[in-house]
Amino acid sequence: MALRKSVDGKKLLPFLSKKHVVIPKNLEETYYNRFVAPLIASFDDIEANGFEINKNEYDPHPLLTISELPPANSKEVPTLFDATSGESANSDEAGKIVFDLSFKYGKHRFRGDAFGPVSVTVEKKDNDYVFHRVKETQKRKRSTHKRLSNLGYPYGDFGLL
């Protein structure tokens, strides 16, 4: 396989110096999430043996989640409409409203600040793993960011208000 994109060579050393690389069962999921999934996201023409890669392309559907930060040291979780919310909080952040933008692609959901053209999720099915490689259509995603910015919520300000 010829690599057209740059890959950190240090990550490939174990594969070049040994006949087999064994990943312990207890580290398998971490290995797939941290090493294999980013490689799958980086390359269009990747083949897999021993696991499945589903390749899909979806139009993004924006989701704006609104929530309130609870007090840091309180066991009670205030509600958005609680009249005393934030009054006795020990943190300056408590009681503030948080807007979280994400995008749904089919059944997959990705954070709004993940601007990569491809995202990969890992799903464990029994003892096997399935990688879902989702190619994002950036045009609609950008238009959603622009529309929200025009409404007074610039992308960089998503978070605490």
The predicted model scores a pTM of: 0.58
Q: Please report, rounded to a whole number, the percentage of residues in the chain having pLDDT higher than 70.
A: 73
CB 41 within 8 A of CB 53: no
Q: Is the pLDDT of residue 131 over 90?
A: yes
72-112 per-position pLDDT tens digit: 665 655 555 555 544 444 456 777 888 788 888 888 887 77
Q: Per the structure block, which two tokens stand in for 134?
A: 């989702």
Query: Where do the structural domains in the chain lie, given as residue ranges?
Result: 10-157
Q: Is the pLDDT of residue 43 over 80?
A: yes
Report CA Rg, the chain: 21
Confidence of residue 130 (pLDDT cuts 50, 70, 90): very high
